[in-house]
Amino acid sequence: MKIILKMAAMAFMAAFLIGTFTATEAMAGAEAKCKACHNFTAKKKVGPGLKGVFGREAGTADFKKYSASMKKGGWVWDEKNLRTFLTNTKKGIKTLTGDKKAKTKMKIKVKGDRLDEVIAFLKELK
C-alpha cells in the first residue's frame, strides 16, 4: 500500500512538473494575456487578429464586432497610441477619440515591463 502511494505521488509530481514546465513556456511573454481574446494572425477571435496591428489604423481589421468608438477610429497604432490604450483601455479610448463618452469592448490594464514587452511583441507581428 505504501509503495503504491509513493508511486502515485511520484506520478503526480512528474505530471505536475511537466505541467508547470509547459505552462511556464506558454506564459513566457506578457503577450500571453492577450491570447485569451486575440490570435496573433489575421484571424479574429474574441477580438480582432493582431497581425500587422502596429502601424495600422485603429478599427480596420477584418472584425465586425468593434465598439462604435474603435470602429470610428481615426488614429494609427503607433508606440504612443498603443501605450495610451493598453495602460488603461477604458481611459485610453477616451484620450484617443477625444470623446469623454467613448467606450471600448476591451477592458484591460498593462503596466511597466509588461507593457514594454507587449509593445515590442506587437511590433514584431508583421
Q: Which residues bind ligand HEC (CB under 6 A)?
A: 33-34, 36-38, 46-48, 50, 53, 58-59, 61, 66-67, 70, 77, 86, 104-106, 108, 110, 118, 122
SS3 57: strand
Compute the distance between CA of residue 46 and CA of residue 94 in angstroms, rounded to an integer: 22
End-to-end, the C-alpha distance of the chain in Å comes to: 57
Q: Shortest Cβ distance from residue 103 to ligand HEC (Å)?
A: 7
Q: Shortest Cβ distance from residue 89 to ligand HEC (Å)?
A: 8
Question: Looking up cell 465598439, which residue turns up?
Answer: 67
Query: Which lies closer to ligand HEC via its Cβ, residue 86 or residue 94?
Result: 86
Compute the distance between CA of residue 109 and CA of residue 126 in angstroms, rounded to an integer: 24
Q: Shortest Cβ distance from residue 2 to ligand HEC (Å)?
A: 47
Query: Which lies closer to ligand HEC via its Cβ, residue 1 or residue 28?
Result: 28
Question: Looking up cell 503577450, which residue turns up?
Answer: 31
